[in-house]
Structure 1
Amino acid sequence: MESTSGGAVPATASPPEARNIEAPPPSSPVVSAPQAEGSSQPPSRYESQKRRDWNTFLQYLRNHKPPLTLARCSGAHVIEFLKYLDQFGKTKVHVTGCPHFGHPNPPSPCVCPLKQAWGSLDALIGRLRAAYEENGGRPESNPFGARAVRIYLREVREGQAKARGIPYEKKKRKRTTMVSAVSGSGSGAAAASGSGGNGAGDDTSAAAAVASVSTAPPNVTTTSTAG
């Protein structure tokens, strides 16, 4: 009886233990697979917009007449590109002879042209300047950082400020004096946060305007450049 009871217990106990040990391993690869997939995150909105802007500029160079390569691109060509983008603009810029010249809220419509807002162009140049160097370009030969481009953007800003009645310079002076007057107090922090909100609004409107530019059809580029 002892031999039968002793032999029966180990024979029936070992198989269930072996099955329980072999069960967990198949579940471990299933857990590690989603972690590998989740490590690659999609690009941010800024990176996606920068890529679209860069592809749009390269397409503009391919359709340029005469053909233009990136190595031969200069600040003058960048300014031509910015002027070309005005046809996709949505900002009313009053001419000198318009009765609404200098009025931020005109009471009636006019026939003045629509152009790209200065904030849109300034944000676009910033993204293209970064994309140029990320794609192997040298900082010293970056056409988007040329002095002529900076002068052009400043002229656009000043011209649109007069035509639309938006004193960019006066707003900057007010924010500077407010922060210096209340530095070290709690109201200074509130003033700083208020100025940051205005900047965020400008960036949002600029990104929305340039996003519509990046989706322009290729055939429009060829027609505009030839003219």
Structure 2
Amino acid sequence: MSAAVAAAAAAALSSRCNSIGTTSAAPAAARSGLHQSFTYPPPVLLPPALSRYELQKRRDWGAFQQYLRDHRPLLLLTRCSAGHVLEFLRHLDQFGKTKVHAEGCPLFGCPQTSPACPCPLRQAWESLDAVVGRLLAAFEESGGDPEANPFGARAVRVYLREVRDAQVKARGIVRDKKR
């Protein structure tokens, strides 16, 4: 660092330390504003990390919006009905990981599964129920009318109940109804 630059920096520092209204022995370049003091940038505030639920909700909402974009004819969210939600849930069913025995299967009604069983893999009803709950919340958060929310329709609840009952029956689990 040259002596002139060091002197200018020292003078700028000493002029800062002096009280307002007093003159300093700072060089003319520093007094004229050619030397600018360093200021720290404001701290960058990072958004809080999203919870697992929020990440799943965003993922599910993105998948449903992709379903709407791929639907032919093109389907707008405002025109979406419970039937479209059921179609989406049936579409998700093909990516399931739960073995659900068909009525003709020898393991129908047994809680054990066999890798040799040709029965299809389906979405567990708990997973479908969770997806519907997250989509119900995402619909309202994105400006949808709660009264017109297709995810809360009676047909969707009935479908979920039927899926649950079919899976329970296929696994041979006895469920006592609450009274």
Alignment TM-score, normalising by the size of structure 1: 0.59
Q: Deviations over 1:17-74 (max 9, x none)?
A: x85x84xxx99957x72xx525x21211111111111011011011112221111111
**Which residue does the alignment assign to 1:86?**
93
Match of 1:129 among 114, 136, 149: 136
Out of 91-100 and 58-67, give the one that drifted further.
Answer: 58-67
In structure 2, the gaps of 5 or more residues are 1-9, 18-36
In structure 1, the gaps of 5 or more residues are 1-14, 177-227
Q: Distance in 1 between matches of 2:98 and 2:125?
A: 9
Query: Which amino acid is the alignment partner of residue 158 of structure 1?
Result: D
Aligned-residue sequence identity (percent) comes to 59
Match of 2:45 among 37, 41, 50: 37
Match of 2:120 among 113, 117, 121: 113
Q: Does 1:139 align with 2:120?
A: no
Q: Does 1:96 align with 2:139?
A: no
Q: Does 1:54 align with 2:71?
A: no
**Which residue does the alignment assign to 1:75?**
82
Structure 1 vs Structure 2 CA RMSD: 2.5
Q: Does 1:150 align with 2:157?
A: yes
The number of residues matched between the two structures is 148
Gap change, CA 1:108 and 1:87, over 3 Å in 2: closer
Out of 156-165 and 65-74, give the one that drifted further.
Answer: 65-74
Query: Which amino acid is the alignment partner of residue 118 of structure 2?
Result: V
Q: Distance in 1 between matches of 2:105 and 2:125?
A: 20
Q: Distance in 2 between matches of 1:85 and 1:147?
A: 19
Which structure would you say has the larger RCO, counting Cα contacts within 8 Å and 6 or more residues apart? 1
TM-aligned CA deviation for residue 148 of structure 1: 0.2
More helix by percentage:
1
The ranges of structure 1 where at least 4 consecutive aligned residues each deviate by more than 3 angstroms after the TM superposition are 26-30
Query: Which amino acid is the alignment partner of residue 117 of structure 1?
Result: A
| Secondary structure, aligned partner of 1:148 | helix
| Secondary structure, aligned partner of 2:103 | coil
Gap change, CA 1:27 and 1:159, over 3 Å in 2: farther
Q: Distance in 1 between matches of 2:102 and 2:118?
A: 9
* Native 8 Å contact 2:102 2:170 kept in 1: yes
Q: Distance in 2 between matches of 1:95 and 1:85?
A: 19
TM-aligned CA deviation for residue 109 of structure 1: 2.5
* Native 8 Å contact 2:99 2:113 kept in 1: no
TM-aligned CA deviation for residue 108 of structure 1: 5.7
Q: Distance in 1 between matches of 2:143 and 2:85?
A: 18
